[in-house]
Structure 1
């Protein structure tokens, strides 16, 4: 509370000493003009005279105070004050203390009361002179200060933020109760700057706070939110938040003031969160799947290493914040965005959906994709997490397996067909031999016998030729160690034309080689010779009777193939009628004496063995065009 330190002014003291009883009436106007609230009280405690200041505070009517007892006017005055006044009547004035009263407006007023003896003309004490000093503002300020200190103390207890002050003039450091509690020292502990610094953990924390204190005192530089470690009085390590700033008096730095907060639990929790985040990050970065998180605008807010590698970036920052339209072609982005919206709206996840993603560079990748909505506390989606497994290699293996199955199926069909051919042809030859032998046995005429023997010889040759053809087919389909080489197609065509030159000249045919000199194909050399010989021979052999044969050979690269095109102006083939049988064994499509139906069958098997293919277009009476595809991946 407010301390009693005020005393009457020198002027008033001198004036009081001059006042005698007989002069009251003569000096009344002077008393009324006294600058402080003043009252003259007789030895019966009656108020005899007051100043206007007194009257204005306590009495609306100037006459109302006459013949009124002091304790009647102020019933709340302590009776101990009578003893004080009695001592004053004896010439021994004492402080009367502080008293609260209510003025004429009903407001609380605080006064400090002082007294002095009142003498008459004969120097006899006839009463006391009471003077009031209005200390309402001081008391209110003290009350306000107490309130603020109480609020500050409550705030400190709630927030666990301590205070400290350092007085530079007397080198005194003050710690509040909370600050002491954080340091785990006793309540009566008296700190100083040296011990305060000593509590900070040696190294970074102690160096940082020391530099902050130095700059604050030397340059007036404040500091705040320094996250440091201390070692408490009991040896515990704690994380604290320290702040401080200089305080000035008339432009001169007189000290420092600051805050001190225990943030150990918060920092430990943050460290745990960071460790968990690192653990989660390590986990998702090392998963063999693409992982990402999108917000409601389909912007990626998290991606793992696999997703970075797929998108061709090293730093996730190059991707974060971008949406699908910035990362993929518009068509793919629209499909992905529509799917994102559907997942977030319906809250139904998409699980293991097979998709094909296309990047901006055109590369396509097959994925098993899942999209799962992320829900807030209200059950509303605020984004989604995506997981994609690259199955491109699996799809390639699946394709290869499917091709192998298709090849096996084709081979089975070929084998079955071959078995039928072998069975039919050998049975035909066997029946022919049996019939001729029967004729030979029963025939008596020697000339007829010779004729039958000649037929037997021809049948035997036909059987050998059939066996040779069947053996070559078997060789092509069972040879797994064929050696494929890079061959100049132009040179091979020239060699084939040279070898067939008598046949070509005899048929008055024209061959035009349009193949570039440096054009290379991957093929088995013997197979390529056989393919060129068969196709060129057929092109010349089946010429149109009304024009000379013309054969054109050209080549081009397309995709994974080197393509040889052989085009003629011959008889042509009715593909609607014979298309499915074109490459069958012993299938012929023209009444030509040399047509045996084995050439195309053999070349087709050779091309298949090299993972190639054949395409044909033809018009009856116009000519035929064969395209032979040599696989570049061999």
Structure 2
């Protein structure tokens, strides 16, 4: 039987022959067979030496080098003709050399080195097209990825498409395959570990494809600088293997004592076979009581109709439905969760004969899963609350402490009684504000076991002024001006401790990242849009390069200026606190001009 590869080579417009290590001809193009005066079918299985009429050992030196992985070009005299031979190694899908590919041309004394290279490239291209094997290179230092034409074809991308390492990995099916290949690339970069795995990709056209991906590291001066490898489309082989597995499915259904519900239906959707577990589920002692019945005889109409549509899909498409979660309701109203597979039962000619069904009762498992998910959700929320609470304590109390410290320094160094009196009033106010903060934090502790954070209606203008007073000494030290243009009666719905923390972080950040040639000026304004309040906080500071850092701005431990006090936690905390309250944040900035943060908060009408 002619293989797909042999059929392609047979039709090539070039004079091409493939030989194994014993010089036996495995594939040959009709054009070469005709050129040498042979019938194509007679040529298969002949010795290359006999077909070309050349003595033994006459080409061993050249062919042995090809078997060792080197391309060769040489001439041989065949009968009355002298021909030029371009020989390259023949690899299987495991990248093992299994023979040689020879392209034959009549000797042309005018042939140039350029034509020789073109012929070699053409032959390599033919080999790549036949085997569907592409290549790729990842330059670690340059951060670039190069794909061969075949690799691009497999991914269904344009010839001028230029991937990077992230987009290359994103073609792998999300989940197991993407995680596995990312880990293998990481290990290869770190330790030089090569890999060769079968994976699943989704091409740019949304087509699922099975591929074999192989890669290894390239070192220079003992350092890994590049990764190189191959990429082969093996979808046809995988599909063939799947068909074999489907054919074997009928044999597996004969095992009657498996803890599975197994049944077979004919083309009229009548049950013609079932196992003990299925009979027990249906509440019958004799399997004969179910034979010949359809789902409409056994289940309520709605459940039966869902099953019938699935059966029709499998029967008409001849494709299985595998591991689908379903809920089956019996006539008595009892509900069972199943993990169901429906497989087409095909005859020797590939025609549908019926449906093979396999179900696993997952009712208890689903109940446990729901309980576990509830526990995970509660734990995750509690953990998030704990982290936020810890950061609030750290940020807010540290700010109060710093304010107290500065005010006390001012008091100690102040000589005039009038100013001392003012400072004492500021200390008293700061003390009151500290007590409010502690009450808010205590409230967070009290509600930390609840699923939802308790939000209160807060006058935004007053909350801003409270924060200003808490950090008044800090603002005075840095000659900062805060202009509160927020409407005095505008209210928002928020967790008091979170809102205070958000305003505090944004105000102090505006001062920390001030422009060295001007005093900080911070302007706050707000407006109501539908069910939200948009609070704008603008400064005249250094600004942020959003093209460079925009996607990292709210990440934990991310800093963007050489500020020794920067810890990369403030904006991360702000974003998470706002999200936990059902809000959000946007940023607009120009370098050396300043930054505007737009804080999105709910209001009482939401």
Superposition TM-score, scaled by structure 1 size: 0.29
Superposition TM-score, scaled by structure 2 size: 0.30
Q: Which of the pair has more CA radius of gyration?
A: 1
